[in-house]
Amino acid sequence: MDEDSIASMELLQQEMWPARNIERINGWILSENGGITWRANSTYPYGDMRPERADEAIERVIAFYRKHGCSPAFKMTKACSPPDLDERLETRGFVKFMPTHVQTRGLMDYDFSSPPAIRVQITEGLTEDWLETQRVDERYHGPNILVLEDILRRLPGRSGYAIVRNESGVLGVGLGVVHKNWLALYSVRVVEEHRRKGVGEAISRELMSWGRRVGAQNVFLQVEVDKTKAIRLYEKLGFRTAYSYWYRALDLTTG
């Protein structure tokens, strides 16, 4: 992707995982959501930030997150404004972490004709049953699950919540969000003892099929660069890396 396309894609992603508090500084979007998920608690630095104003803007970012009790953070790509922002943040002590690929593929040419080998139940709208499955993630222990629920109830467009079960319980889950002709795949997780049995592939594929039925033409997902098994799965489904991002934060207390 070229830099304009990356910036547009990043702003779309910010819309599709909405934070409860938003502030804008010359095109930069500062998002805060109680420290739950870096995506909802970081600055998206795009627009037309002049280099001579960048240092002052960084100070305002720091003050914004300190006010809310969160780590000052930026979600970075090669398309950030100004172009030397990454170097400026490194000089100020912002730590680089969580390098992640954004992978995409088209949906209109995908063949969904073969029946799924594993039954995936997809429900539009958040259910308590699906939300309860997220408690296995330590980020969502205790009251943090309510912060996640708050994000999920603000999602734009249409949302599909996927669950795979058998007689012993839940084997895997996933989330699809359709907005502006794009499907986002989030939170595809499989219980450890059922991994490498096709559950994750079935969840992803069925969410893609659902997304196309409700109007999505393309799909994207985010996968950390060291998740090699997940990357192989998504390559099997036809995904390719469009670009990569990383975070920079003054400390790492956000989830």
pLDDT tens for residues 84-100? 999 999 999 999 999 99
* pLDDT confidence of residue 255: 52
> Which tops the pLDDT comparison, 118 or 194?
118
Delimit the domains of the chain by residue range. 3-99+245-249, 108-216
Handedness of CA 27, 33, 34, 39 (dihedral sign): negative
Q: What gap in Å lies between CA 210 and CA 1, rounded to an integer?
A: 26
pLDDT of residue 149 exceeding 60, the answer is yes
pLDDT of residue 141 exceeding 70, the answer is yes
- Coil, strand or helix: which one is 185? strand
* pLDDT confidence of residue 254: 54
pLDDT tens column, 178-229: 999 999 999 999 888 888 889 999 999 999 999 999 999 999 999 999 999 9
Contacts with 113 (C-beta within 8 Å, 6 or more apart), sequence order: none
Of residues 130, 118, 198, 132, the one with CA closest to residue 160: 130
How sure is the predictor about 253, in pLDDT bands with cuts at 50, 70 and 90? low
Of residues 91, 103, 86, 102, the one with CA closest to residue 43: 86
Q: Report whether 98 contacts 132 (CB < 8 A).
A: no
Count helices and strands in the chain by DSSP H and E runs: 7, 11
pLDDT tens column, 23-54: 999 999 999 999 999 999 999 999 989 999 99
Q: Report whether 54 contacts 25 (CB < 8 A).
A: no
pLDDT tens column, 221-246: 999 999 999 999 999 999 999 999 99
Q: Report whether 153 contacts 126 (CB < 8 A).
A: yes
CATH 3.40.630.30 fits 108-216, yes or no: yes
Q: In the chain, what percentage of residues exceed pLDDT 90? A: 82
